[in-house]
Structure 1
Amino acid sequence: MRYATRYDVGERKRPDGINEDSLAVSVFEDGHREGYLGPDRDPSSRANGDPNARGDADPGTTRSTAVVVLADGAGGHEAGDVASYIATTRVAEELAPLAVRAAGEDPGAFGLDLPDTVSVGGAPPAEEGDPTARAEGESGNGTGVGSDPASSSRPRQDRFHGAIEAAIQQAHQDVLAYASEAGTAAYTTVVAGLVVDGRFHYGWVGDSRAYVCNGAHDHIARLTEDHAVVEQLYADGELDGVEAHVHPRGNELTRAVGGRGDAADVTVETASVDLFAEDVLLLTSDGLPDAQSDAPALYDRYVGSGRGEDAAARVREQVVTDADIGEWVLGADSLSAAADRLITEGNDRGGKDNLSVLLAQDPTLPETPSRLPVRGRDPHPAHRRETVVEE
């Protein structure tokens, strides 16, 4: 698996601004014998004496699992940078062992025929009160925009959803404990997930986003919906898509990790999607889609003009749209170049907040089918200013 990360304080916050974003990545590569046969392997080929046989995906020599986490501390609160650091560290710490165990759940992928009495990888035996041990068919806390209720792997998927939710809840409690001890407010967004056997299982709180960009179909899908006032107004039909780019309330979250020391849980949304060899997974703080520092003026001009198409086109030219993000990612020669391009373009279009991006790709996965499945939701950019939390 390949990945790249970039951090930037944002052009408007130089030279004395604080970067309140945090990232965490943990990749585990599992290899044995002639290599991993992959999700499309043909088990009969090994039985017929071909030790190197693979399925149509030709998935290479290793199996990769990964944990990815991004958090954006809420600006305007005293300890957003601490909150984001606590959240990414705790979530990665909780999920990394699960990623390693998941990589060992299928020894047959390396041509190993182990008896049922031998346990390798997978979840430990469920204990009473274990939040990752869900009954078959039980869903996560939120339905998510990429979930697949008919999936034959639903019990396993639910286990991952439960683990992600539990990890974020633990991070929430850790941030609350810090806020109480420090006598301050501490809030952060979180988007986090597990990449296992060609699927991305993820959860989120707030308006940091996950996207998947597919090079075979030149397509970008947003996997998350912002927990934010503007997102809700848009969903309720009170705003059009252009207004949602630049609305004056674009900095207001409806949900975040942390708080002022109260012990309430936070609602975590979860979902899963298939990934393919041509996919690039992108996690980003809102500093990328919210790069435009002149958003309030653009909003006034757009509404004052009667919401005409010419005014709408001018807004789209000056803000960062989902289509822009997809073009910059898929047009780059490497993940590193894509990460650089995202930061550069975000700063060029205003750079009004911290910019952090995480990109990952596993070229050993099966190729994208000729008909791309629906993943996430239609592109809709709802842009933010310095984040505050509705209380």
Structure 2
Amino acid sequence: MEIAMKSHVGCVRQVNGDFYACTIDERGRVLAVVADGMGGHAAGDVASRMAVEMILEELQNSKIGQTLEDEREGLMNALLRANEEIYRYAETHPECDGMGTTVVATILTPSGGATAHIGDSRLYLYGAAGLSQHTEDHSLVQELLKTGQITVQEASHHPQRNVLMRALGTEQNVRIDLGQITWTAGDVVLLCSDGLSNKVPADVIETWLEKPLSLQEQIDGLVQYALDSGGEDNITVIAVRNMDKSVDVSGGEG
């Protein structure tokens, strides 16, 4: 697998409330998570960090099998555990009242993978057929789109486009969306916070992934595009390309 990652605080905000990680475990699976925290003061970045660290810990320690159903179940359990811990933390830390985070996560093998998400962070798949979005935003704007109350053009400028219908840690019980992907050599899975997807149209993402550049250069270009388009939010991206050989990876925040 070829892996590229980048996170930027953006042009307006002082704190990066996004957190992310991408690792290869002892079974050779790629585990990737992007979280976009929300809440006053430091609550957002606390929530996103807690979510990513807990999800990875749960996945790395799991002893379940390797069927696709097992992987999906493992992802769901990891997100539910993180939800429980974040919700409990907010209850005992009044300064973090209202904290929560979006999460998009995947477990990838060379043949395919399982996905889980809550909120409006996204997962895209780029392959021979082009770019496709494999998650549906849990946002007010998405609900208005589905019911035909607004158009796609209106959605991009809607004053409530950042209102979430679901997030991790905001309620004691949450519903996680699960999915699966199949991919082949050369395909790219891309996870991102809405700081990228709100500023970079799908056709621009596809154009950058078509460029004859390294994956990191492609991701750097996408982040710069978001910054040049205003960069009002934090921007975080993880991309994984299906390759014959693995490469060294590193990750973290910022």
Question: TM above 0.5, one fold?
Answer: yes
Are the counterparts in 2 of residues 68 and 193 from structure 1 also a CA contact under 8 Å? yes
Aligned counterpart in structure 2 of residue 269 of structure 1, from 163, 174, 177: 177
Give the equivalent residue in structure 1 for 2:90. 179
Q: CA deviation at 1:362?
A: 1.8
- Provide the rounded CA distance (Å) in 2 between the counterparts of 1:249 and 1:187: 18
Q: How high is the sequence identity, in percent, across the aligned residues?
A: 33
1:18 aligned to 2:21? no
Are the counterparts in 1 of residues 117 and 135 from structure 2 also a CA contact under 8 Å? yes
Are the counterparts in 2 of residues 66 and 96 from structure 1 also a CA contact under 8 Å? no
Q: CA deviation at 1:185?
A: 2.2
Q: CA deviation at 1:290?
A: 2.1
Q: CA deviation at 1:359?
A: 0.5
Give the equivalent residue in structure 2 for 1:204. 117
- Provide the rounded CA distance (Å) in 2 between the counterparts of 1:348 and 1:97: 41
Q: CA deviation at 1:193?
A: 1.2
- Provide the rounded CA distance (Å) in 1 between the counterparts of 2:42 and 2:217: 34
- Provide the rounded CA distance (Å) in 2 between the counterparts of 1:251 and 1:7: 19
After superposition, residues 1-391 of structure 1 pair within 5 angstroms as 1-13=1-13, 17-28=14-25, 64-74=28-38, 76=40, 78-98=42-62, 123=65, 156-183=67-94, 184-214=97-127, 216-217=128-129, 219-259=130-170, 264-291=172-199, 320-364=200-244
Q: What do residues 114-153 of structure 1 show as CA deviations (whole Å, max 9, x unaligned)?
A: xxxxxxxx63xxxxxxxxxxxxxxxxxxxxxxxxxxxxxx
Q: CA deviation at 1:230?
A: 0.4
Are the counterparts in 1 of residues 39 and 99 from structure 2 also a CA contact under 8 Å? no
Aligned residues: 243
Q: CA RMSD in A?
A: 1.9
Q: What do residues 213-251 of structure 1 show as CA deviations (whole Å, max 9, x unaligned)?
A: 12x34x100010000000011111111111121111101
- Provide the rounded CA distance (Å) in 1 between the counterparts of 2:215 and 2:191: 13
Give the equivalent residue in structure 2 for 1:144. none
- Provide the rounded CA distance (Å) in 2 between the counterparts of 1:256 and 1:160: 21
SS at structure 1 position matched to 2:217: helix
TM-aligned CA distance change 1:187 to 1:280, over 3 Å: same
- Provide the rounded CA distance (Å) in 2 between the counterparts of 1:332 and 1:91: 34
Q: CA deviation at 1:77?
A: 6.4
Letter in 1 for 2:241: Q
Q: CA deviation at 1:197?
A: 4.2
Identify, as 1 or 2, the structure richer in strand.
Answer: 2
Are the counterparts in 2 of residues 212 and 223 from structure 1 also a CA contact under 8 Å? yes
TM-aligned CA distance change 1:332 to 1:228, over 3 Å: farther
- Provide the rounded CA distance (Å) in 1 between the counterparts of 2:3 and 2:105: 15
Are the counterparts in 2 of residues 73 and 81 from structure 1 also a CA contact under 8 Å? yes
- Provide the rounded CA distance (Å) in 2 between the counterparts of 1:360 and 1:247: 32
- Provide the rounded CA distance (Å) in 1 between the counterparts of 2:155 and 2:115: 25
Q: CA deviation at 1:160?
A: 1.4
Are the counterparts in 2 of residues 230 and 247 from structure 1 also a CA contact under 8 Å? yes
- Provide the rounded CA distance (Å) in 2 between the counterparts of 1:192 and 1:178: 22
Alignment gaps of 5+ in structure 2? 246-254
Q: CA deviation at 1:29?
A: 6.6
- Structure with higher Rg: it is 1
- Provide the rounded CA distance (Å) in 1 between the counterparts of 2:36 and 2:60: 20
Letter in 1 for 2:179: A
Give the equivalent residue in structure 1 for 2:249. none
Q: What do residues 301-333 of structure 1 show as CA deviations (whole Å, max 9, x unaligned)?
A: xxxxxxxxxxxxxxxxxxx21111111222251
Letter in 1 for 2:140: V
Q: CA deviation at 1:76?
A: 4.6
Alignment gaps of 5+ in structure 1? 31-63, 102-121, 124-154, 292-319, 366-391
- Provide the rounded CA distance (Å) in 1 between the counterparts of 2:137 and 2:204: 18
